[in-house]
Each structure stands twice: as C-alpha cells, then as structure tokens.
C-alpha cells in the first residue's frame, strides 16, 4: 500500500491547484485520473471551445463587413483545418502535465479510483492510503432516459470531429448547445436546438436570452422551445429525433447531448468512504470539507450544488481546500459576483442579480436597459444584436447585477463583476475614465 499526505482525484483546474499547493509545502501528493491528465477545461471544454469560437467569430465579423470594404470569401470555415489548429492547444497537455508532476515528485496514477475505506482508495490493483483525499473528479453528461439516448455524442466527441456533418441536432438548450451551434452554423452546418421548456439558458437573464435566441435564429440556427425529446432512431443513413412538444421529427446526421452535466462521482463508491452525497454532488461544509468524513475535501464540479461549474471558481476552490489542508480549516469561499460567459456570436455575459432574483430578496431595484446594436462597439464589427441590462438598488444606485449581450461582453462583465463585488455604485463607474474606443468604455453609459 502506498501512503501519501494528499491524494487528489482529478487532474483538472481544481485538482491541479491542490496538488501544486500541497506539494510546494512539502507534502507527499498523488493525483489519480481515469481520463487523460489535464482536465475538462484544458482538454474537453474551455480551451478547445474558445479556439473554435474565436475562429468562427473572426469569420462572422469578416462576413458581416463584406459590404463595408472587407472582402469575404464565400467558403465556410475549413473545419478540418480548424480542428487541427485546436489540437495544437490540446494535444500537448497530457504529456506536459505528467512530465511536470514527475519533475515535482507528484505521483500520477492512471485509472478509476474508488474508496475502500474512509482514508484509502484503490486504483486498479494499487491501494493508496492518505491523510487527506480531495475529490475533484469533474463532471459528465447527464444521463438521459429516452429511447435511443445512446445515439447521442458528447461535447468531447463534437470537439474531436474530423469532419462536420451537414445536419446537426442539439438536445437541450444549455450553453454547450448554443456555443457549439454557433460554431457549427458558421461552418456551414444545418443546426437545430431542441429545448424541453419555454426558456433555454436558464442561468442567464430572461430578457437577454430572448434577444440571444433571436440572434441565433438570424444566424440560421433553428431554436425550438417546448420540445422535449422522446426518442432518437437510426434509420441506416440518418437519425430521426422525435419530440413530444410539437410532435415533429427532425432528421440529422449527428445528435449532440447538450442537456446538462452532473458531478462525476458514481465510480468512486462514496459510501465505502463514508462520504455523504447530496442530490447534486459531494455534501460539504463551508470549508469544502465533507460533512461526514473529515479526511475528505471536494472542489470544482464535484462540489454539491454550492458553486457554479466555472474554471475560475474551481481554481479558487482548489486554493481554499489546499489552505485548509495545510493550515487547518480557516478559509471559506465567497461566491458573490461570479461572472459567467456564454461564448456565442455575440457573447452573453452575466454577473450578480437578475431583476427577478433581486426582487425575490425584497430589494427595490431600477433596471437600466439599452439596445447596444447601434453603438460603435457593435457596428465596427458588423454586429446587429447587442443589449444590456444593469440592475441597481433604487435610491443608492448600488450595483446589484449586470447582463450584457455584445461582441466583447466577457471583457465588460469582468469589470462589472469587480465593481459589484466591491460594493460600487453606478456613480463610481459613471465617473471613471476608460480608454476609448474600447468595449469597456461603454460601461459608464450603461449603468
């Protein structure tokens, strides 16, 4: 049996942060992963997605400006070339991560980890005993129960496509579906999104979502709401996707799972480790420690219903867990004003309260709403869909929330997230002098 101070399950953003911090302080550390080392963000999520979206955005701006002195090629995105470019970012990750661990003296174990006691895990035939165990095992696609669900491919499969099929149906109206749909449509595919209820993208402001759905439809994406999928069939040369909402059948060459992700915990045998599981993940205290096993901490997507599944949050949770392991439970995490971005074309970004959530807390609010489509920041790239909604406390002007759809909404939302986190008022930003012309120079005018 191998003995360690810390065993980390998962080599993504959260787990890697814990491993480095604990190793730096002289603790013996092992990292276990059943997937290639590097984690979701670097290999199957943020990085490869942003490469595809970035190239598609450039192509869209090129097309939008074709009548403004920029000559656009009639050819769509070269998908094989774009995927090859994406692999320049993802292919080196695993080897580099393993070499880094080797140089640092961090032990790496490839395989599925499972608890065999409260302080011991087994990986294949090897038992790992540890003073502390950190569950940072990431997330996986939610299991779907309709007939033919096994025909669906995952986001990872989509990112690895060597050729783009002509007709693609995305099941579920979450951010994965919309981001990939915007890329696929710009690459020439016929794209449909099927969402089970009235409003997709429920984590974003509903007014902004309405405008973004309109922008998506204008880009050629068929967004269908109130259309729960009831089955998928393979007919020998194409798939048929059946819905109960509109009783329609949609033909496709590829059907993609975009109906949400859940913590990847089933294989760990948590009960054998006396690790309590909530309906949404590992049940933890405000120190990110298991409520039932003091040896166990959790971070990233494995945390049960506490944090948004975002890479910066995972890194911060990893820092909190490492500090609590090294120095005793003294650190907690503040989830207020965490920005979230949907990398569509244009981007959609959100932080803090929506109008609805603020009113539910009894706050008296003013909503500052603007159509940004005629503003310089939109017109200069040919963008025709842009909107902002800023939620302020009535009277004081304290910033409570911000929701933006614009070409560079992500850059704008980071400034507003800091302002909300620090308790700024609208007047603080109205008096600020931002470099012009930049996307952030719009901020004093939308608050």
Q: What is the pLDDT of residues 43-76, one digit of tens each?
A: 888 888 888 888 788 777 777 777 677 666 655 6
Question: 176 and 110 in one domain?
Answer: no
Question: 231 and 310 in one domain?
Answer: no
Q: How many folded domains does the chain comprise? A: 3
Domain containing residue 348: 340-446
Residue 62 domain-assigned (yes or no):
no
DSSP string, 401-427: EEEEEETTHHHHHHHHHHHHHTT-BHH
pLDDT of 442 reads: 95
Residue 65 domain-assigned (yes or no):
no
Residue 52 domain-assigned (yes or no):
no
| Helical axes 175-186 vs 46-64, angle rounded to 10° | 50
pLDDT of 72 reads: 62
Residue 322 domain-assigned (yes or no):
yes
Question: 267 and 252 in one domain?
Answer: no
CATH code of 440's domain = 3.30.390.30
Residue 68 domain-assigned (yes or no):
no
With tokens 């005629």, the residue in question is 374
pLDDT in tens, the chain (447 residues): 799 999 999 999 999 999 999 999 999 999 999 999 999 888 888 888 888 888 788 777 777 777 677 666 655 678 888 889 889 999 999 999 999 999 999 999 999 999 999 999 999 999 999 999 999 999 999 999 999 999 999 998 999 899 999 999 999 999 999 999 999 999 899 999 999 999 999 989 999 999 999 999 999 999 999 999 999 999 999 999 999 966 788 999 999 999 989 999 999 999 999 999 988 899 999 999 999 999 999 999 999 666 677 888 999 999 999 999 999 999 998 888 999 999 999 999 999 999 999 999 999 999 999 999 999 888 888 889 999 999 999 999 999 999 999 999 999 999 999 999 999 999 999 999 999 988 999 999 999
Of 207, 227, 259, the position where a domain reaches its end is 259
Question: 105 and 9 in one domain?
Answer: yes
Residue 55 domain-assigned (yes or no):
no
CATH code of 225's domain = 3.50.50.60
With tokens 């895990």, the residue in question is 121
Give the pair of three-digit tokens for residue 324.
């609590």
Residue 57 domain-assigned (yes or no):
no
Of 225, 259, 293, the position where a domain reaches its end is 259
Instruction: Report the mean per-residue pLDDT for the chain.
Output: 92
Residue pLDDT, tens place only, 395-413? 999 999 999 999 999 999 9
H/E element, 138? none
pLDDT of 52 reads: 85
Question: 289 and 252 in one domain?
Answer: no
Nearest to 112 by CA among 219, 32, 212: 32
Question: 232 and 99 in one domain?
Answer: no
Question: 89 and 38 in one domain?
Answer: yes
Spatial strand order in the sheet of 222-224: 222-224, 190-194, 167-171, 254-257
Of 212, 235, 259, the position where a domain reaches its end is 259
pLDDT of 305 reads: 64
pLDDT of 153 reads: 96
Left (φ > 0), alpha (ψ -120 to 50) or beta: where does 270 sit? alpha
Nearest to 64 by CA among 386, 329, 304, 363: 386
Whole-prediction pTM: 0.92
Question: 423 and 348 in one domain?
Answer: yes
Question: 134 and 282 in one domain?
Answer: yes
Question: 128 and 18 in one domain?
Answer: yes
pLDDT of 79 reads: 87
Question: 438 and 396 in one domain?
Answer: yes
Spatial strand order in the sheet of 347-352: 340-342, 347-352, 399-406, 387-393, 365-371
Question: 135 and 266 in one domain?
Answer: yes
Residue 75 domain-assigned (yes or no):
no
């Amino acid at each position: 049996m191998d003995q360690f101070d810390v065993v980390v399950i998962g080599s993504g953003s959260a787990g890697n942060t814990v491993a480095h911090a604990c190793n730096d302080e002289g603790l013996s550390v092992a990292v276990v992963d059943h997937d290639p080392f590097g984690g979701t963000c670097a290999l199957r999520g943020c990085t490869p997605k942003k490469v595809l979206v970035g190239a598609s955005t450039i192509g869209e701006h090129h097309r939008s400006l074709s009548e403004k002195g920029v000559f656009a090629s009639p050819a769509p995105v070269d998908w094989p070339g774009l995927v090859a470019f994406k692999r320049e970012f993802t292919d080196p990750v695993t080897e580099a991560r393993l070499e880094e661990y080797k140089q640092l003296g961090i032990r790496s174990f490839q395989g599925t980890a499972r608890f065999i006691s409260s302080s011991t895990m087994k990986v294949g035939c090897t038992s790992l005993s540890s003073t502390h165990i950190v569950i940072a095992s990431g997330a996986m696609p939610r299991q779907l129960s309709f007939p033919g669900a096994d025909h669906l491919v995952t986001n990872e499969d989509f990112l690895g496509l060597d050729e783009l099929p002509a007709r693609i149906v995305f099941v579920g109206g979450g951010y994965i579906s919309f981001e990939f749909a915007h890329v696929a449509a710009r690459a020439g595919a016929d794209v449909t999104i099927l969402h089970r209820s009235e409003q997709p993208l429920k984590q974003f402001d509903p007014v902004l979502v309405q405008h973004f759905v309109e922008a998506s439809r204008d880009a050629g994406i068929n967004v269908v709401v109130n259309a729960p999928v009831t089955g998928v069939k393979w007919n020998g040369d194409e798939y048929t996707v059946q819905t109960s909402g509109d009783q329609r059948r949609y033909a496709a060459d590829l059907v993609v799972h975009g109906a949400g992700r859940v913590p990847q915990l089933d294989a760990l045998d948590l009960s054998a480790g006396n690790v309590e599981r909530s309906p949404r993940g590992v049940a933890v205290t405000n120190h990110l420690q298991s409520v039932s096993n003091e040896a166990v901490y959790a971070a990233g997507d494995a945390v049960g219903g506490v944090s948004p599944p975002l890479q910066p949050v995972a890194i911060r949770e990893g820092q909190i867990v490492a500090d609590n392991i090294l120095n005793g439970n003294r650190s907690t995490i503040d989830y207020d004003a965490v920005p979230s971005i949907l990398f569509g074309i244009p981007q959609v970004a959100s932080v803090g309260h929506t109008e609805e959530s603020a009113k539910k807390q009894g706050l008296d609010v003013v909503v500052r709403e603007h159509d940004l489509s005629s503003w310089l920041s939109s017109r200069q790239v040919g963008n025709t869909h842009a909107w902002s909604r800023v939620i302020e406390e009535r009277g004081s002007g304290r910033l409570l929330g911000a929701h933006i759809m614009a070409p560079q909404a992500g850059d704008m939302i980071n400034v507003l997230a800091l302002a909300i986190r620090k308790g700024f008022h609208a007047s603080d930003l109205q008096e600020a002098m931002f470099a012009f012309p930049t996307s952030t120079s719009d901020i004093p005018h939308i608050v």
